[in-house]
Structure 1
Amino acid sequence: MKKFLIGLLVGLAVIPIVAAIYLKFGNPPVAVTDPAFPFEKQIVHVPLHARIDREMPKTVPIEPSATNLEAGAHIYRQECAACHGLNGLPSDIGPHMYPRAPQLWHPHGKGVIGVSDDPPGETYWKVANGIRLTGMPAFAKILNETQMWQVSLLLANADKPLPPTVMDLMRRPLDLDPQTPAADPVSSK
């Protein structure tokens, strides 16, 4: 029994030592272009979805009115479109992130567009809290609660007919946005 316990303790001590050596001198996947660790998606998604299910708001405090949807479209263009794309205009950045940033105006499945099949409270949670190690920032200190709900409702209704002003905003390239300042030309010296 004594040999077994010593062997068990040595075995348990070897595991973190080998892991530390691998992380220090090995070639773990740290670049966006590297393949994922085995079971990485399962390890990350299970606790993420459990936490979202537990903490997401169950009721929506504002209506998906034309005013709220249009406000959400303006916020989306300013804060989200660079990574998540626009209607018919996918992002140049999002597909090169790890994990890839979902294109929230791209249809998939049975008429689903982006996250329109998710409850608005789930999208709100993701907007407010961000998602660690994905590039998705937390907007809780950038946007107010109403603004986060406006974006969440916009995305929840992306598979439904939206007011023409909203669709115009979602189809207009970012470089044609009158609210976006023109980029300074790069001068060559």
Structure 2
Amino acid sequence: MKAFLLGLILGLCILPLAVFTYFHAGHPPVAVADKSFVMEKELVSVPLHARIDKEMPKSPPIEANATNLETGAHIYRQQCAACHGLYGRPSSFASHMYPNAPQLWAPHEDGVVGVSDDPPGETYWKVSNGIRLTGMPAYDKVLNPTQMWQVSLLLANADKPLPPGVLDLLKQPLDLDPATLTPASAATGPAQKITDIQMNSMPPAIPAEQK
């Protein structure tokens, strides 16, 4: 019995020491190309989805009408497309991120386009709160709730026919500064200025209850 307790105590002492040594002197997977930990995806996705299911809004406060979808397309181009791609134009660096940034206008192996199979409230939660250690930022201090809903509704309808004006916006290439590859610091050339003017001139969202 004493030998068992001694072995148990030594094991409990050695384990944290081994972990400490591994993280400080070993080769933990911190580079994008490194292999992931055993069950890393499961350990992250289970609590993430549990929290989203608990906190996500159940129904959008606005409709997926042409006005909101087009405004969502403008916002998507400015804030999301660099990582998540455009219609027929995947991001050039998304596959070199860890985890890979999903291309929201491309079909998966099962044929689902982007996150169109997710409830809009789930996408809204992700846009608003971000996801730690993925590169997905929280937009709740960048966009207002209506703008986040407009993007979420746009992505929920990615597998459905969209108004021609929305598709035109989603097919146009981004005018990005190649030195930064981020829409927030894109070069303010003529194409970007036109987008900004269009964004500022868009009519306000139409709440569902006012229809």
Deviation at 1:109, TM superposition (A): 4.4
Deviation at 1:111, TM superposition (A): 4.2
Q: CA RMSD in A?
A: 1.8
Residue identity (%): 68
Match of 2:99 in 1: 99
Whole-angstrom CA distance in 2 between matches of 1:144 and 1:151:
11
Match of 1:150 in 2: 150
Q: How many residues align?
A: 182
- SS of 2:37's equivalent in the other structure is coil
Q: Deviations over 1:112-138 (max 9, x none)?
A: 210000000000000001111000000
Deviation at 1:107, TM superposition (A): 1.4
Say if 2:21 is the partner of 1:21. Answer: yes
- Counterpart mapping for 1:22-61 below 5 A: 22-61=22-61
Whole-angstrom CA distance in 2 between matches of 1:6 and 1:58:
54
Match of 1:131 in 2: 131
Deviation at 1:7, TM superposition (A): 2.0
- SS of 1:113's equivalent in the other structure is coil
Whole-angstrom CA distance in 1 between matches of 2:109 and 2:33:
26
Kept in 2, the 8 Å contact 1:84–1:90? The answer is yes
Match of 2:70 in 1: 70
Deviation at 1:67, TM superposition (A): 0.5
Higher RCO (CA-CA < 8 Å; seq separation 6+): 2
Say if 2:178 is the partner of 1:175. Answer: no
- Counterpart mapping for 1:112-123 below 5 A: 112-123=112-123
CA 1:180 to 1:159, structure 2 compared with 1: closer, same or farther past 3 Å? farther
Amino acid at match of 2:59: T
Whole-angstrom CA distance in 1 between matches of 2:96 and 2:174:
19
Amino acid at match of 1:78: Q
- Structure 1 residue runs of 4+, over 4 Å off? none
Whole-angstrom CA distance in 1 between matches of 2:137 and 2:175:
23
Deviation at 1:13, TM superposition (A): 1.3
Match of 2:197 in 1: none
Deviation at 1:19, TM superposition (A): 0.3
Kept in 2, the 8 Å contact 1:111–1:159? The answer is no
Deviation at 1:90, TM superposition (A): 0.2
Match of 2:10 in 1: 10
TM norm structure 2: 0.82
Match of 2:87 in 1: 87
Deviates more, 1:1-10 or 1:25-34: 1-10
Whole-angstrom CA distance in 1 between matches of 2:80 and 2:36:
25
Amino acid at match of 1:165: G
- SS of 1:174's equivalent in the other structure is coil
- SS of 2:99's equivalent in the other structure is coil
Whole-angstrom CA distance in 2 between matches of 1:180 and 1:112:
33
Whole-angstrom CA distance in 1 between matches of 2:34 and 2:11:
30
CA 1:167 to 1:142, structure 2 compared with 1: closer, same or farther past 3 Å? same
Mark the runs of 5 or more structure 1 residues left unpaired by the alignment: 184-189
Deviation at 1:102, TM superposition (A): 0.1
Kept in 2, the 8 Å contact 1:174–1:180? The answer is no
